Amino acid sequence: DMHKIRAKLVYSVPGYHRGEDISTNGHMKLRNVLKQEAHNDKSNLIICQFSSIGSLGSDDKWIKEEFGKSLTGDSYIPSINSIKLVFFENLIIYSDISNKREHRKQL
């Protein structure tokens, strides 16, 4: 019986997206899903898997500002400290370079 499950799968497509395409996948889709869902329930879990987070560089500005805003459903975030709380309440999985190399060897 799966009627109580409310899972959402949000996928990402490589490249730059503009116009109407901007919110059809990726973190902008996640932002829209969280706007529509009651995501204030502490029992909700968001799991994010990144395969190319390393391409964002060592600066954490994008993660804190853009992706952090998506994790809150576009809510106003009063400080950087509140963004840290969002990350502690959710799980982010990403591949490091050694995982990618090993995966390519297996292909």
DSSP letters for 45-82: --EEEESSGGGG-S--HIIIIIIHHHHTTT-----HHH
Q: Which pLDDT belongs to residue 80?
A: 45
**The pLDDT of residue 87 is above 80:** no
Q: Which helix (H) or strand (E) holds 99?
A: helix 97-106
Which of 55, 47, 41 lies closest to 100 in space, CA to CA?
A: 55
Residue of higher predicted confidence among 72 and 97: 72
Give the C-alpha separation, 72 to 86, whole Å: 7
> Can you give the pLDDT at residue 30?
85
pLDDT reported for residue 81:
47
> What is the pLDDT averaged over residues 7-27?
84
Torsion of CA 32, 6, 68, 10, to 10 degrees: -70
The pLDDT score that the predictor gives to residue 85 is 40
Res 83 pLDDT > 50: no
What are the backbone dihedrals phi and psi of residue 23, each rounded to the nearest 5 degrees, phi first? -110, 25
| Burial class of residue 80, CB neighbours in 10 A (0-12, 13-18, 19+) | exposed
How many Å apart are CA 72 and CA 87, to the nearest integer? 10
Confidence of residue 92 (pLDDT cuts 50, 70, 90): low
pTM of the model: 0.59
Q: Can you give the pLDDT at residue 91?
A: 59
